[in-house]
Chains A and B, each alone.
Chain A
Amino acid sequence: MSTEAVDFDLNRLEKGRSLWQDAFSRLKKNTLAMGGLVFLLLLIVLAVLTPWIAPYSYEEQNLMLGATPPSAEHWFGTDIFGRDQLTRILYGSRISLMVGFIATAVALCIGVTWGTIAGYIGGRVDALMMRFVDILYALPFTIFIILLTVVFGRSMLLLFLAIGAVEWLTMARIVRGQVMAIKHQEFIEAAVAMGMSRPRIMFKHVAPNVLGPIIIYTTLTIPSVILLESFLSFLGLGIQAPQSSWGSLISYGVETMEEYPWLLIFPALTLSMTLFALNFLGDGLRDALDPRVSKD
């Protein structure tokens, strides 16, 4: 028994463990984070499969039926047009998750690159890049999005890009601050001394070391983006009826919460559970990815 175990360990030692393997093994020990991950994966699977598994059509109305509380046929009840609430939440998750992830990914890509470059190079380049961010910050967000939609018309893709293009600003600032903080640390200086190229240092050594704050901020961005979409939909800029998103379901649910509480409760519950899952996962990931945590 004991020799076997030692052999196994030796094998692993030989192979070496990457940051990600390391992180995942640590993540696995975090029950909350794993729970969040499982929930999210399940949600994504459901969202992808929605067209095949949804019990009803999301747009077909049954006006005679109207709003009914949860029942055996309609688990989450029906809305005032007699549409199945469960189906609409499922279809809504497709849009909301897509907006959440794609827009956040856009924000992440631009924000991290921008922030890393500005923070690492510093000096005039930094000043110039950050003033640009300041200018965009000063632009009223709603007007900016409205302008974009007026110019390019209403499309889902544009919505993702527009939200992402606005959300990266904070990301860039956070990353820049972090990069400034670590760029004079020894391991960077070592890399410089060894003659690594600047881009390689930036993205191989600097960026991974600011992952913690990035991940935290990302998990915060996803929910805010999901909510932002609902706000834009309300303005008539986001998704269009009869499509649904969680945000739009909630905003209509709020209006009738006294008469038909289930129209608010279920989408709100789904959204908040997703946000919890994202936060737990983000929390776990940050702990797991932090390279400063000593390896066990």
Chain B
Amino acid sequence: MKNFGIVVALLLAMVVLHGCGEKKLNNVEYGIRNQILYYANGDEPKSVDPHLITGTVENNIIINLFEGLTSKDAKTLEARPGVAESWTISEDGRVYRFKLRENARWSNGDPLTAEDFVYSWRRALNPRLPNAYAYMMFYIEGAEAFYKGENTDFASVGVKAISPHELEVTLKAPAHFFLQLLDHHSYYPVHGPTLEKFGGVEDPTSRWALPENFVGNGPFVLKRWEINKVVELDKNPHYWDADVVRLQAVHFLPIDDQQAEERAFRSKQVHLTNTPQMDIEKIQVYRKDRPEVLRVIPTYASYYYEFNVQRKPFDDARVRKAFALAIERDLLVKNVTKGGEVPAYNFVPPDPEGYTPQIYWREDVEEARRLLAEAGFPNGEGFPVLTLLYNTHDNHHKVAVAIQQMLKKNLNVNIQLENKEWKVYLAARKNVEHDIARAGWLGDYLDPSNFFDILRSYAGNNNTNWKNPRYDELMNTIEATSDPARRNELFEEANRILAEEMPVLPLYFFVDINLVDTSVKGWYDNVMHFHPLKYVYLEASEP
């Protein structure tokens, strides 16, 4: 009997302890209690070096690790003071004079000065650094020549530190979006002494951006990075505005599987998802059952396929055009992507600030067949089997499968699908090893030039091998033009060239579809998928 008593006691203890185990807080509750945000970020970031990254996955993290001269408002996207507390713009709109904060600091406590910006921008423009975004800085006088090696003296570039806290920037031509652009990662400052310690400015594999060495100037610092597990950010105590930062830490989880992501959200393992698209089939369920957490936002972003125009037969514009004309975009957005995307007949999305591109073509299967026949492939005969590359992701797969079939049905052309993991996919595109590749572009600032610039002959993000001197010339003219009406005319001309040449195949304009727990405050919807965490905090919703 004694033994029996002990057994009962043990069993009871087990039951009780087990109960405790079950009451263990999930990430969402734990996060609310400790101000730790759990963030589903879609994929493993390539790097957090602001001059090397290209993707939104990286950008989502990096906007919290660094701060530019200005800082975009999360709600309105207007440029607000960042590291610069104020600025003046010359009459002709070309010379900006920034007054930097006296109390701006690096995360190791070093003061942040105007020299740091000169150093960083010089690095960003270093032709030996594989910075795909260098062209974003060509608005600055002399930047392009310096990048192309035509001028090796950085003094010729329009960036000058007048005093430790005064920076003067001279532009080639007035650019109304320049203040906004300053919050782009290519303009972020990097910490010189740290870079020098780990291999210098030109080393793309430098270890300076690893957690143990990292120095930044944003509201958060890089704390821990476990590959395929988590990127952990801690609040930066040296940040000049640290008082308003309420989150203590952020955990970015690289969940690249949408089902897993949605389940993680449902089981309260993450507060929010911030990935391009969520699981398509789940959208309807959330619309019906939990509309309060579903955020559907039209975005200044384009989903398209890029051709390798050097690969036969894509060297023939008629073939590219035939492909574009043969895809039924309405069917695609209504029945495959299902998120309310807008079918695209232009590469550039309509700009919320004014420029609406004209449409020069629509789906036309007859015309597509005619063009293909003209290019030497009547009824698709003799057309080689080409490969469509996309990064491993369910939605991309679905779109690719639908398009594969449309091309087969409408043009009698067979294409193969090939999916690759994010980093491999980026590398393949960068080296233009593909025949056709999926691509997406999310506006970095609200101006059509952001989109058009990608297809300049030498742009780091032009993965098509397409080179058109007339187009480049137009882009240069646009840079030097400040009259909005004239700019729109020039944009339209560029748009017409794209419609004729079709180096990229527009599919649709994105909508952002994400899940955000009701406890997340200070998270605003905007057309640029821009979600800085400086003002975000967590608060339990009423019971």
B105-113, B174-182, B403-411: which lies at the interface: B403-411
| Contact present for A64 and B335 (CB under 8 Å) | yes
| Contact present for B281 and A260 (CB under 8 Å) | yes
User: Closest CB-CB distance, A114 to chain B, in whole Å?
Assistant: 35
- Contact A63-B331, Cβ < 8 Å, known A240-B417, A256-B281, A259-B281: yes
B328's closest neighbor in chain A, by CB?
A63
In the complex, A241 has a CB within 8 A of chain B: yes
In the complex, A290 has a CB within 8 A of chain B: no
Chain B 317-346 interface mask (CB, 8 Å, partner A; 1/0): 000000000001001101110000000000
User: Closest CB-CB distance, B199 to chain A, in whole Å?
Assistant: 31
| Contact present for B259 and A63 (CB under 8 Å) | no
- Chain B: how many interface residues by the 8 Å CB criterion? 28
**Cα–Cα, bound, A93→B331 (Å):** 30
B285's closest neighbor in chain A, by CB?
A259
> A255: which B residues are within 8 A, CB to CB?
259, 279, 281, 394
**Cα–Cα, bound, A80→B328 (Å):** 16
> A55: which B residues are within 8 A, CB to CB?
none
In the complex, B398 has a CB within 8 A of chain A: yes
In the complex, A287 has a CB within 8 A of chain B: no
User: Closest CB-CB distance, A88 to chain B, in whole Å?
Assistant: 12
> B401: which A residues are within 8 A, CB to CB?
81, 241-242
**Cα–Cα, bound, A169→B211 (Å):** 44
In the complex, A66 has a CB within 8 A of chain B: yes
- Contact A236-B419, Cβ < 8 Å, known A242-B404, A242-B405: yes
**Cα–Cα, bound, A259→B400 (Å):** 21
**Cα–Cα, bound, A22→B336 (Å):** 58
| Contact present for A81 and B419 (CB under 8 Å) | no
In the complex, A59 has a CB within 8 A of chain B: yes
| Contact present for B408 and A59 (CB under 8 Å) | yes
In the complex, B493 has a CB within 8 A of chain A: no
Q: State which of B259, B392, B405, B408 has its C-beta within 8 Å of the C-beta of A81.
A: B405
Q: Which of B124-175 contact A (CB under 8 A)?
A: none
> A60: which B residues are within 8 A, CB to CB?
405, 409
> A260: which B residues are within 8 A, CB to CB?
281
> A66: which B residues are within 8 A, CB to CB?
335
In the complex, A61 has a CB within 8 A of chain B: yes
- Contact A63-B285, Cβ < 8 Å, known A240-B417, A242-B401: no
**Cα–Cα, bound, A260→B281 (Å):** 9
| Contact present for A80 and B398 (CB under 8 Å) | yes
Q: State which of B331, B400, B408, B409 has its C-beta within 8 Å of the C-beta of A64.
A: B331
- Contact A63-B335, Cβ < 8 Å, known A241-B401, A242-B401: yes
**Cα–Cα, bound, A66→B394 (Å):** 16
**Cα–Cα, bound, A236→B285 (Å):** 30
B406's closest neighbor in chain A, by CB?
A61
Chain B 380-417 interface mask (CB, 8 Å, partner A; 1/0): 00000000000010100110111011001100000011
| Contact present for A61 and B402 (CB under 8 Å) | yes
A to B contact number (C-beta, < 8 Å): 53
In the complex, B418 has a CB within 8 A of chain A: yes
Interface of B is mostly: helix
User: Closest CB-CB distance, A136 to chain B, in whole Å?
Assistant: 26
- Chain A: how many interface residues by the 8 Å CB criterion? 19
User: Closest CB-CB distance, B423 to chain A, in whole Å?
Assistant: 15
User: Closest CB-CB distance, B272 to chain A, in whole Å?
Assistant: 21
Q: Which of A202-244 contact B (CB under 8 A)?
A: 236, 240-242
> A259: which B residues are within 8 A, CB to CB?
281-282, 285
**Cα–Cα, bound, A108→B408 (Å):** 39
> B405: which A residues are within 8 A, CB to CB?
59-61, 81, 242
Q: Which of A48-65 contact B (CB under 8 A)?
A: 59-61, 63-64
**Cα–Cα, bound, A259→B405 (Å):** 24
- Contact A81-B394, Cβ < 8 Å, known A63-B331, A66-B335, A241-B417: no
Q: State which of A64, A81, A254 has its C-beta within 8 Å of the C-beta of B402.
A: A81
- Contact A80-B281, Cβ < 8 Å, known A61-B405, A63-B335: yes
Q: State which of A63, A236, A240, A256 has its C-beta within 8 Å of the C-beta of B336.
A: A63
**Cα–Cα, bound, A240→B415 (Å):** 10
- Contact A240-B398, Cβ < 8 Å, known A60-B409, A255-B259, A260-B281: no
> A61: which B residues are within 8 A, CB to CB?
402, 405, 409
Q: State which of B259, B282, B331, B404 has its C-beta within 8 Å of the C-beta of A241.
A: B404
Q: State which of B280, B402, B416 has its C-beta within 8 Å of the C-beta of A240.
A: B416
Instruction: Pick the most buried of B259, B397, B401, B404: most chain A CB atoms within 10 A of its CB.
Output: B401
B331's closest neighbor in chain A, by CB?
A63
User: Closest CB-CB distance, A189 to chain B, in whole Å?
Assistant: 58
| Contact present for A236 and B418 (CB under 8 Å) | yes
B257's closest neighbor in chain A, by CB?
A255
> B335: which A residues are within 8 A, CB to CB?
63-64, 66, 82
Chain B 337-371 interface mask (CB, 8 Å, partner A; 1/0): 00000000000000000000000000000000000
**Cα–Cα, bound, A105→B201 (Å):** 58
A256's closest neighbor in chain B, by CB?
B281
User: Closest CB-CB distance, A261 to chain B, in whole Å?
Assistant: 12
> B280: which A residues are within 8 A, CB to CB?
80
A66's closest neighbor in chain B, by CB?
B335
**Cα–Cα, bound, A82→B335 (Å):** 10
Q: Which of A255-281 contact B (CB under 8 A)?
A: 255-256, 258-260
A-B contact pairs, 15 of them (CB 8 A): A59-B405, A61-B405, A63-B328, A63-B332, A63-B335, A63-B402, A80-B336, A81-B398, A81-B402, A240-B416, A241-B401, A241-B404, A242-B401, A258-B285, A259-B281
Q: Which 10 A-B pairs have the closest CB atoms?
A: A63-B335, A63-B331, A259-B281, A61-B405, A236-B419, A241-B401, A255-B259, A256-B281, A241-B417, A66-B335
15 further A-B contacts with Cβ under 8 Å, apart from A59-B405, A63-B332, are A59-B408, A61-B409, A63-B335, A66-B335, A80-B280, A80-B281, A81-B336, A81-B398, A236-B418, A236-B420, A242-B401, A242-B404, A242-B405, A255-B281, A258-B285
